[in-house]
Amino acid sequence: MRLSPVLALLASFLIPLTAVAGWFGKDGPALSVERKVSHYRDWNTGMRREEVTIMLRVNGRPLSNEKLGLALGANEEDAQLTTVFEAVSAGPNDALVLYRTSGNFELARLYMENDRLRSQSLVRDLTQNWFTDARMPGWISVQQENHLHLVQINPLRVVDIGSGVLLDVRGDIALMAEEGYHQPTSSIHAVSISQGKPVAELPLEKACFALPQFEFTHPLVYARFPESTLEQLMFQHGPAWFDTNFELASGATPQLRLKATQKLPRPALERWYVDLREEGDGYADNRDTLDLQPPACPNNANPRLGADKEPYPSKSVMAEDFCLNDDYPGVTAAIRQQRCVLPATSRVVVKTPHWQIEALRFAYRPQNGKAPIEQLVYQLRQGQTVNRAIAGDGGEDLRLREVLPIGEGQALIKARGDGAYELFHAYSDGAGKLRLQHLETLSYSSSPLDTSKPGWVYQRSRGVLIKIQPFGFERVGSGLLDIRGEELLFQYVNDGSKGLMLISMPFQPEPQAPGVGDDAPRYQLSAGCRLADDPDWELAVPAADATLTESAAWFSRNFDYTNGKPGSIVLHKDHQLRVKLGCGPDSQ
C-alpha cells in the first residue's frame, strides 16, 4: 500500500477492477493490471488523499515482486526488493510499470511472449514514482531530472520533450514553461511531439517577468495550493494561463509571442542579507541589509508582486560570494563595485606541490554609509580548482573559517556550515594528495585555537589538545593548565568531595586510551575553601577563555611543583587564589 499522486482519469486506461476479477483464470488475459483506489482525509492537512494498491496478474495468478524483479532484469538478491508504484494496462499482453528494485525509479514495458514474461526498459532514473497527466487521451508522462517524457500507452511511444512543465498540448505542439533555475531568463517554448524537438521559444527576463510557481502534482487531491493566483498556478489552469499571456502562431515555422494584454507581474522587490562576520564572534556588524534597485522594464508595465508590501528578506548571501563570485545570480558589476572594495589581496598560508590554502582580504561597504568592513576568508586551491568550502559528512558546504599552519604542508582547519564548527587536520598522503582528517565537532561559537604554548595547539571550550610534531591528538577537557615536556597539568572539581583537584598526567594521543596512575602528582583544595559567591570554583580558577600561557601563569603564581614528583604540588603561602583565608586540603 502506498500514496500515489496519479490523475484519476488514468483509471480509464486500466482494466476495471470488476472486469479484471471476471477474467481471472485460464481463459483470462495473459497479463493484467488490477488497481484499487481508496480515499481518506489527511489529518495533518485536512486534505483528501489517495491510497493505491497495484496487483499484476499473469493468466489470472498474482505476480510476486520477486518474479517481477527477475523479469525486469534484477539479480536474485535484488529481485525481492522490487516494488511497483504505478502500472497501466497496454492491452491483453502488455503493461507499463513504474517500479524500483535497489536503485532509482524506472519505467518499463512488461509483455507476454511465447508464454514467458519479458520486459523492455523505457526510461531510467526517474525523479517521481508516479504517472502524471500528459494532457492527451491515451498518454501519460513521467519525470526525469530536467526531462519530461510523454508516453503513449498503445501503440507504445516515448517522447522526450525536454525540461519544463507541460502547460498544454495543441495538436502536435507541447507548450512548456521553464523557470530557468539560476539563469537570468525563464522561457516559454513549443516542442513538436512528432519530431521530439523544440520548434519555438520565447525568452523572458526574470528581472521583468515573474512566472508563477507551477503546482502540477496529480491528482488534484495532492495539490498544495487551494487556488491559482499570480504567484502560483494549478495544473488545470495551465491552458488558460497560457492563453491570457501568450499566443502560438502555427504554420510552417511556429512562433510564440507575448500578448500586449499579458498579465505577468514584475518580480517583487528583494531585500538581501549580506553575512559579513560570524555573529558568535561578538560582532555587532555581522550582517548588512541590501535593498536591490530593480532594473527598468519598458516591456512590462504591470505592477510588481507584493507592490503594497515591504521588501521581503528573501535571500541571504555570504560577503565573499557577493564580492568574489563574478557570476553570482542577481549581483551586477555595478552593485559589486558599489559595495565591495576590490581587488582582494591574497597570501599563501600553506603550500604543497599539489594543493595550497590561501588567505584573501577584501572589504565590504555597508548600505548605511559606515566605513568599509574588512573581510578575511580562506580558499583551497588544487590545480585549477578553487573552493572556499569543503564537503561535510552529509555533503553540505563547510566554509573555511580559520586556518592554522602547523608545519610544512600541514594545517588545522576550522570549518562551518549552518551549525557547529568542524575541526580538520589537513595534510598530504604518500602520493602528495590532500587528506582531511576530521578531529572534532566544536560548539558555535567556540573559543579560538590557542597557540601560546610552542609546539602545541589547544581549543579550550571543547578540550582538544594537538601536538604539532609529531602530530598527535587527544581530548583532554577544558581544565588544562600547563604543559611541561610531555606532562599535562589539570584542574577540575571533584564530583564527590566538591573540592578543587590539581593533577598531573602524561600526554596520551589517540588511539591510546587515556589513564592516570595512582601515584600521579595531585593536590586537592577542600570544598570548605570556597567563598559563598563561588560554589563551583568558577572565580577561583582561570577564566574559561584563558590561554595556556595565562593558565600556566596562574598555576605558577599559586602553587609550587617539581615536575613528575608525587606529592610535590603545594599551595604557596602567599598565593592569590580567591578562596577563604587559611585555605588548605583540610579546610572546613
pLDDT given for residue 588 in this prediction: 53
pLDDT given for residue 225 in this prediction: 67
Per-residue pLDDT tens over the stretch 408-434: 999 999 999 888 899 999 999 999 999
pLDDT given for residue 341 in this prediction: 97
Is pLDDT of 581 > 50?
yes
Cβ contact 580:529 at 8 Å: yes
Counting runs of H as helices and runs of E as strands, what totals does the chain give? 7, 40
- Which span out of 39-53, 279-293, 466-480, 557-571 was modeled with the highest average pLDDT? 466-480
Euclidean distance between CA atoms 399 and 312, whole angstroms: 26
pLDDT band at 1 (very low <50, low <70, confident <90, very high): very low
| Per-residue cell: 83 | 516494488
The DSSP result for 436-459, as a single string, is EEEEEEE-SS-PPPB--STTEEEE
Q: Read off the amino acid at residue 3.
A: L
Is pLDDT of 26 > 60?
no
pLDDT given for residue 7 in this prediction: 35
The DSSP result for 528-580, as a single string, is GG--TT-TTSTTTSPPTT--HHHHHHHHHHHEE--TT-TT--EE-TT---SS-
Q: What share of the chain is helix, strand, coil (3-state, %, to 5)?
A: 10, 40, 45
Tell me what the mean pLDDT of segment 7-27 comes to: 35
**Of the candidate ranges 7-16, 133-142, 258-267, the one whose mean pLDDT is the lowest:** 7-16
Per-residue pLDDT tens over the stretch 517-534: 888 999 999 999 999 999
Per-residue pLDDT tens over the stretch 207-227: 899 999 888 765 555 566 678
Per-residue pLDDT tens over the stretch 554-571: 999 999 999 989 889 999
Tell me what the mean pLDDT of segment 373-398 comes to: 92
Is pLDDT of 14 > 50?
no
Tell me what the mean pLDDT of segment 351-365 comes to: 97
Is pLDDT of 203 > 50?
yes
pLDDT given for residue 16 in this prediction: 32
Per-residue pLDDT tens over the stretch 428-446: 999 999 999 999 999 877 7
pLDDT band at 28 (very low <50, low <70, confident <90, very high): low
Tell me what the mean pLDDT of segment 271-283 comes to: 81
Per-residue pLDDT tens over the stretch 310-325: 777 678 899 999 999 9
Euclidean distance between CA atoms 154 and 90, whole angstroms: 6
The dihedral through the CA atoms of 511, 513, 519, 525 has a sign that is positive
Cβ neighbors of 265 (< 8 A, separation 6 or more) are: 210, 230, 302, 303, 304, 305
Cβ contact 427:408 at 8 Å: no
pLDDT band at 10 (very low <50, low <70, confident <90, very high): very low
pLDDT band at 19 (very low <50, low <70, confident <90, very high): very low
Burial of 327 per CB tally in 10 Å (0-12, 13-18, 19+): exposed
Euclidean distance between CA atoms 372 and 323, whole angstroms: 13
Euclidean distance between CA atoms 84 and 474, whole angstroms: 51
Cβ neighbors of 413 (< 8 A, separation 6 or more) are: 357, 378, 390, 400, 402, 403, 404, 423, 424, 425, 426, 436
| Per-residue cell: 236 | 488545470
- How high is the mean pLDDT of the chain? 88
| HSE toward the beta carbon, residue 450, CA cutoff 13 A | 25
Euclidean distance between CA atoms 348 and 359, whole angstroms: 6
Euclidean distance between CA atoms 23 and 57, whole angstroms: 10
pLDDT given for residue 218 in this prediction: 58
3-state secondary structure of 95: strand
Q: Which is nearest to 436 in space by CA: 468, 400, 470?
A: 400
pLDDT given for residue 178 in this prediction: 95
Cβ neighbors of 25 (< 8 A, separation 6 or more) are: 59, 60
**Of the candidate ranges 14-18, 101-105, 209-213, 512-516, the one whose mean pLDDT is the lowest:** 14-18
Is pLDDT of 80 > 50?
yes
Tell me what the mean pLDDT of segment 5-31 comes to: 42
Q: Which residues pair with 233 in a beta bridge?
A: 214
Euclidean distance between CA atoms 272 and 317, whole angstroms: 7
Give percent above pLDDT 90 in the chain. Answer: 66
Is pLDDT of 4 > 60?
no
Q: What are phi and psi of 164, to 5 degrees?
A: 120, 180
pLDDT given for residue 217 in this prediction: 65
Q: What are phi and psi of 60, to 5 degrees?
A: 85, -10
Per-residue pLDDT tens over the stretch 498-510: 999 999 999 999 9
Is pLDDT of 11 > 50?
no
The DSSP result for 134-200, as a single string, is -SSTTEEEEEETTEEEEEETTTTEEEE--SSEEEEEETTEEEEEE--TTSSEEEEEEEETTTTEEEE
Cβ contact 508:488 at 8 Å: no
Residue at grid coordinates 525536454 = 162
Per-residue pLDDT tens over the stretch 89-141: 999 999 999 999 888 899 999 999 998 999 999 999 998 888 999 999 999 99
**Of the candidate ranges 190-204, 344-358, 411-425, 505-519, the one whose mean pLDDT is the lowest:** 505-519
pLDDT band at 382 (very low <50, low <70, confident <90, very high): very high
**pTM, rounded to two decimals:** 0.62
Q: Read off the amino acid at residue 36.
A: K
pLDDT given for residue 290 in this prediction: 87
Is pLDDT of 48 > 80?
no
